[in-house]
Structure 1
Amino acid sequence: MTNKDNTTAVEQSFELQKIYHKKSTFDAPNAPAVFLDEWKPSISVDLNTEANRISDTTYEVVLTVKCKAKATNSDTQLFNTTVEQAGIFEIEGYEETEIMALVGSYCPAQLYPFARNHISSQVLHGGFPQLLLAPVDFDALLDDAIKSADQESQGSETNDTDDEVEVI
């Protein structure tokens, strides 16, 4: 393919090569006593993504999902579960900003249903009622992370603020 300047343009391609569990853990530290109480949990979910360049066009993207459940009326820990769901993606012909959007949003969105299913299975097999995690807008999370990083870099350049911004 050539463009107006008679230079060769690289064709864009995006391929999912592999999806796999990198790591998973489940812990019910207060079992069996927690099964005797009424089921009123307070559940927190933390998400984290990481992208590692394996070669010029190959990336490993790892989505880490952590769920913690506590009894609502006490600090009793019901369960903790962590799943690291990973994928290998072949990405070629994109600009760096487009690659950042793909590995920061699109790739984790492809991995999330697998992680969500694995967490649901772990919780169910741990003796607890089924846990259904809500869908996640990874585009919005990436936008928030970029805005927070921009604010932090501007804050460190001007030293106007010491506020910390937490990005999920």
Structure 2
Amino acid sequence: MADEPTANGAETGAAAAPQIKMSVLAQFIRDMSFENILAQRGTGGETVPDVQVQVNLDARKRSADNQYEVVMKLKVDAKAKESRDQLFLMELDYAGVFNIENVPEDQMHPFLLIECPRMLFPFVRRIVSDVTRDGGFPALNLETIDFVSLYRNEIARRQAAQAPAGTA
């Protein structure tokens, strides 16, 4: 019964490509800081914030077989819209350790920088929300990040940076 054709004519079983396996082995806050600059100055009151979020990703192979570490580095900078005074600054490095099997070598880089951050993002969103709320501000709920676009933009930026160096 193995390797029987399916309705679309493709064979199942041994002829099929190996199934990609990914599991999260650990996730943790590597580094975090939150500075309530508004409170440090001793001022308060209602102010409308202008929030800027920067995201950087880093991935590396670990010494164990099929294990990788992915770090999402987030910087949240909030300033008052009118006066541009700093309200708060939050920096968070959130890491995940993943076991990944059966991903082709040429696809590993995008897999690590797209799929793994997608798994980490809900936890990062929750931490940012809790810390901003506990820091005396309304909870900041990050919008969903398009990691595919982020990856493509970074690849394009790197290619643009290398182009002038290669032609000069």
- Whether TM exceeds 0.5 here: the answer is yes
C-alpha distance after superposition, 1:8-61 (max 9, x if no partner): x9764322211222121111123163422x221111101011112112411110
Number of aligned pairs?
Answer: 153
d(CA) in 2 for partners of 1:49 and 1:104? 7
Whether contact under 8 Å (2:38, 2:44) holds in the other structure is: no
| Identical-residue share of aligned pairs (%) | 30
Q: Does 1:58 align with 2:67?
A: yes
Whether 1:18 aligns to 2:26 is yes
In the alignment, the residues of structure 1 paired with residue 125 and residue 43 of structure 2 have an alpha-carbon distance, to the nearest angstrom, of 23
CA displacement at 1:92 relative to structure 2:
2.4
Residue 148 (structure 1) aligned with residue 157 (structure 2) = yes
Deviations 1:124-146 (A, max 9, x none): 01111121111110011101111
Task: Report the structure number with the largest CA radius of gyration.
Answer: 2
Determine helix, strand or coil for the equivalent of 1:86. Answer: strand
Alignment of 1:42-121 (within 5 A): 42-55=50-63, 56-121=65-130
- Partner AA of 2:21 in structure 1: S
Inter-CA distance 72–11: structure 2 relative to 1 (3 Å threshold): closer
3-state DSSP class of the match of 1:103?
helix
Query: Given residue 44 of structure 1, which amino acid in structure 2 is its aligned partner?
Result: Q
Rate the CA distance shift 1:102–1:88 in 2: closer, same or farther, 3 A.
same
Q: TM-score under structure 1 normalisation?
A: 0.82
TM-score normalised by structure 2 residue count:
0.82
How far apart are 1:156 and its partner, in Å? 1.5
Question: Distance in 2 between the 1:129 and 1:12 partners?
Answer: 40
Measured on the aligned residues, the alpha-carbon RMSD in Å equals 2.0
Q: Which amino acid letter does the alignment assign opposite residue 28 of structure 1?
A: N
Taking a change above 3 Å as real, the CA distance of residues 145 and 27 of structure 1, as seen in their structure-2 partners, is: same
Distance across 1 between alignment mates of 2:32 and 2:108:
27
Task: Name the counterpart of 1:164.
Answer: none
Match of 1:157 in 2: 166
In the alignment, structure 1 segments of 5+ residues that lack a partner are 4-8, 160-168
Q: Distance in 2 between matches of 1:114 and 1:45?
A: 16
